[in-house]
Amino acid sequence: MAATFRASEHQHIRYNPLQDEWVLVSAHRMKRPWQGQVEPQLLKTVPRHDPLNPLCPGATRANGEDPVTTLSSEPKPPEDKVMCFHPWSDVTLPLMSVPEIRAVIDAWASVTDELGAQYPWVQIFENKGAMMGCSNPHPHCQVWASSFLPDIPQREERSQQTYHSQHGKPLLLEYGHQELLRKERLVLTSEHWIVLVPFWAVWPFQTLLLPRRHVLRLPELTPAERDDLASVMKKLLTKYDNLFETSFPYSMGWHGAPTGLQTGATCDHWQLHAHYYPPLLRSATVRKFMVGYEMLAQAQRDLTPEQAAERLRALPEVHYCLAQKDKETAAIA
């Protein structure tokens, strides 16, 4: 008699319809003891202001120019900008207030409008943490605009276009509706937004952030949707930090319909979304490595998306640093 299939125990593959690729799920690997690379512990504190840090307000660069200021966009070449989130280096997005995060969202929308008038692709992304290649601890993101559609957006363009031509609906809008019904991969839901671990997730605690209604690009978000997004982002990133009680590293970015000369083209098959790709797997010091089979054959993950979503859902929405301060205050009182 054949054994009953259990996704959490049996190796299997899953299809990613958005990027037209497969991922191998090998959840049994989590039962193996880890004797490999252990990352150094992150700094417990980051200096609030470092006069030598070129992203801190008031610092001076080697070329004598002033650095970028909070929520300003500094061009490198014309198509490359750096945007600082906050004047303090020790305040990351989950530690910012909802109005402060809302200001970041407004800046994202503005820079998309500004660069999108000229370029067909505007890529907003944040690399958080040295583990993800971030060379400066000051909270910031980057905005690159290109005169071409990069590889991954091209795949998403083809997949969404194909699905829309066959079904008459945006792929990600329909996918979000299905996940709301299934519930097993949901992490957060609100009036205007859904956060889930996608069925095809590659990174251990990868999430997909989707608006509930059909939206093509960031500038189209209403004030209410922007307020709600700020709240949802704070909750998600707080859960991330709470998972291993560390400043959780990740790479994230927004994907929306092409801009520039593409603005007049039919883009109804697109749905605005954000990808979060965090590398941590077992602890604050043990990460997922994309090597060997992943590099030479196909992507592989080490726990099921359902297991990841369940763990994230169960985490509190109060940041562990704030909870610790409350405990210390109560003990003194």
| Residues annotated catalytic, as ranges | 140
Q: What gap in Å lies between CA 55 and CA 90, rounded to an integer?
A: 12
What is the sign of the dihedral through the CA atoms of 214, 219, 225 and 228? positive
In the three-class reduction of DSSP (H, G, I as helix; E, B as strand; rest coil), residue 147 is classed as coil
Spatial CB neighbours of 20, under 8 Å, sequence gap ≥ 6: 155, 158, 159
CB atoms within 10 A of CB 118: 14
Q: Which two tokens stand for residue 136?
A: 């400066």
Q: For 182-212, what is the HEC assignment?
A: HCCCEEEECCCEEEECCCCCCCCCCEEEEEC
Q: What gap in Å lies between CA 288 and CA 204, rounded to an integer?
A: 7
CB atoms within 10 A of CB 30: 15
Spatial CB neighbours of 214, under 8 Å, sequence gap ≥ 6: 170, 173, 268, 271
CA distances 48 to 89, 119, 322, Å, are 5, 36, 17
Q: What gap in Å lies between CA 96 and CA 118, rounded to an integer?
A: 32
| C-beta separation of 107 from 81 below 8 A | no
